[in-house]
Chains A and B, each alone.
Chain A
Amino acid sequence: MTSTAASDNGPEAQYREHLRAGRFMIQRSRSTGRYIFYPRVAVPETGETDLAWVAAAGTGIVHAITVNRGRDESYNVALVELDEGPRLMSRIDGVESVAIGTRVMARIVAEGDEPFVVFDVLKEPE
């Protein structure tokens, strides 16, 4: 699925609009095919502005992970590398922690004011 724009707003607002509509979208340069995240007005380094919204496959691997430990709660914070290439900060749900290299799948959750993307474990690394 591709989409040009959810509104006339800038990329950050459009990203949020897509999430509120239940879509995890990332940007892709039409000319180079390169995917980027977080959403921007141009491809970093090379500057192409021919960015279109594309539905992320949602699959990726855990690139790095930590567990923030507190007296009242502990929760993990991970960097996930999407199969399309970009990396984002997120959370791996349903587990305290997982091995780096674990395959994960995105899911949109609504906590607080804004929906955001978390991941569930698909497959532990061999």
Chain B
Amino acid sequence: MAHALRGRSAVVGIGTAGLGEAPGRTAMELLAQASLAAIADAGLSLADIDGIFAATSSHAFPTLSVAEYLGLRPRFFDGTNIGGASFEMHLLQAALALDAGLCDVALICYGSNQRTASGRLVSMSETQWHEAPYRPRHPITAYALAASRHMHLYGTTRAMLAEVAVAARQWANWNPDAFARGKLSREDVLSSRMISDPLTKYDCCLVTDGGGACVMVRADRARDLKRKPAFLLGAAGAHSHRSIAQMRDLTVTAAAESGPRAFEMAGLALGDVDLVMLYDAFTINTILFLEDLGFCPKGEGGRFVQDGAIAPGGRLAVNTNGGGLSCVHPGMYGMFLIIEAVTQLRGDAGERQLPRCEVALCHGNGGTLSSQVTALLGSAATVTQ
């Protein structure tokens, strides 16, 4: 029997602002512009918002800052911050709050000006005292350690990692909103500057500006609004550690827990998924999540992605916007997984539109492979009227 939350709420509006570079804008200005765009996209008014869900890299009390800036007095709010996966978790929190009648229109939002403000990742993540003497670079050192372990155990190679970056770029080349476009070969990735072995510059996500937001309402109301709803079919989170030194197995993320739980809630199987949006902060992420979510056996992710398997025309559509690697990555990317999933479910993805997209999986990652949240969104065809 399907879970009580399945299909009970839907994303009805999406918006972005300042993707790529937005000089002279603050994080909150970008967040607010994206929020207003999402509200307009839904055909609603600012005053309709009575639930706020937010996490940023620069606000200690994000829902307070958002509500004040937009002049809202929300009835329900949640500022859970688990890094980049926060927004997938907010989908679930918003679905719960909507279903319980604690709010009627939920706004999930994010904004960052990290590229033009600092040129590097902005993070509020505090250094762990037992790591500090060794000067790990947050967050790349942790991901590089996981990659070293994956290569050691499973024979994954740098060329296999590079294939992930190349596939992302090929998708980005179909996306006019992607920040990094142009030819990128496996050789380009392999010969680019090594940053933290085995990860080169092109194994790392972009550092961009950008705001993103979405609006959720209950399913009954969603059907009366102007855009095709993207129904939340299932979502689940899991987290496994704060410090990479405490991660039990560096090659198995908590996606192995969040994925099955989300599918169970949705009453779906892997084969039902048309679009896979994975948080690709680094190329190793895509490989780990393909394995942990079950698209290939543990250890086989590097081989799975070979020969353009996840590139346009491949056997699995992964990160069709170009991902954090080539589309946009303003510090916490999770919001943008949702935006691309909704865009594809609506059939609005232009040249990169998948021929069939009824079910989209969004998998958020946060911290240093620490938090994992899987959400399944579906078109009207996936829910009974």
A88-B130, A89-B136, A91-B133 are known contacts; what are 4 more A-B pairs with Cβ within 8 Å? A64-B250, A67-B194, A68-B195, A69-B194
Residue pair B197, A63 in contact (C-beta under 8 Å): no
CA gap between A66 and B196 in the complex, in Å:
6
What's the minimum C-beta distance from A39 to chain B, rounded to whole angstroms?
Answer: 8
Binds A, one of B100-108, B146-154, B182-190: B146-154
Interface size on B, residues (CB 8 A): 29
A114, B133: Cβ atoms under 8 Å?
yes
Interface string of B186-216 (1 = CB under 8 A from A): 0000000111111100000000000000000
Chain A residues near B133 (CB, 8 Å)? 91, 111-112, 114, 116
Which positions in B face A, CB cutoff 8 Å? 129-131, 133-137, 140-141, 144-149, 152, 193-199, 243-246, 250
Complex contact B141–A64 (CB within 8 A):
no
Q: Which one of B130, B137, B146, B152 lies within 8 Å of A68 (CB-CB)?
A: B137
Interface mask (A82-126 → B, CB under 8 Å = 1, otherwise 0): 000001111100000100110000000001101010000000000
**Chain A residues positioned under 8 Å from B195 (CB to CB):** 68-69
Partner of B148, one of A90, A100, A111: A100
Q: Which residues of A contact B (CB under 8 A)?
A: 12, 37-38, 63-69, 75, 77-79, 87-91, 97, 100-101, 111-112, 114, 116
Q: Is the CB of B197 within 8 A of A67?
A: yes
Task: Give min CB distance, A97 to chain B, whole Å.
Answer: 7
A68, A78, A90, A97 pick with most chain B CB within 10 angstroms: A68
A–B complex contacts, Cβ < 8 Å, 21 sampled: A37-B130, A65-B145, A65-B148, A66-B144, A66-B196, A67-B197, A68-B135, A68-B136, A68-B141, A68-B195, A77-B135, A77-B136, A77-B141, A79-B250, A88-B245, A89-B243, A100-B148, A100-B149, A100-B152, A101-B152, A116-B133
